[in-house]
Structure formats: C-alpha cells, structure tokens
Amino acid sequence: EGLGLKKDDESGMLDVLNKTIDIMQNVITRLKLAAYNPDYVIEIPRNICTIYEFYKAKVLIDYGYKMADWELSSMLSDIN
C-alpha cells in the first residue's frame, strides 16, 4: 500500500518478479550445463517450491538426497 498499489497489484508484481527470477535461473543453468557438460544431471522440478518458501528447506533437501540416491543407483547399474 506504500506505493499506492492495491494488494492484487502487489501480488501480481511479486508473481512477475518470481517468474523473471525463474527465467533468469533457467538461462544460467542452461549456460553452465553447456559449458561444463556433466555426465549426469539430477533434475529437480522447478515448481516444487517458490523463492520465499524457506520453511520447506528440510523437505526439499530430503527430496534432493532421494533424487541423488536414485540417480547414483541408475548410474551404477549403467556401469555394471
């Protein structure tokens, strides 16, 4: 309200900001993957959380460990 905006306008602006940050992160990720070309990539869905959901940290870290475990198991089965 400090800028003379309605709540809907403010939340709309936050949505635009979030989407802009997501686009920027996607571009940076693609460029880094192209530059370093890793053998394996562990993909985490982009819509699993938003930038402000710090309270989901434990759940997201656990999810990352599970995905890494699955990917490493898959990688080892490819080797054998």
Write down the pLDDT at residue 63. Answer: 95
Confidence band (pLDDT; 50, 70, 90) for 79? confident
What would the pLDDT profile of 6-49 be if each residue is shown by its tens digit?
Answer: 666 667 888 898 889 989 999 999 999 999 988 888 888 888 88
Exposure letters 50-73 (e unless 16+ CB within 10 A, then b): eeeeeeeeeeeeeeeeeeeeeeee
Q: Give the tens place of pLDDT for each residue, 47-60.
A: 888 878 999 999 99
Going by C-beta distance under 8 Å and a sequence separation of 6 or more, which residues neighbour residue 42? 64, 67, 68, 71
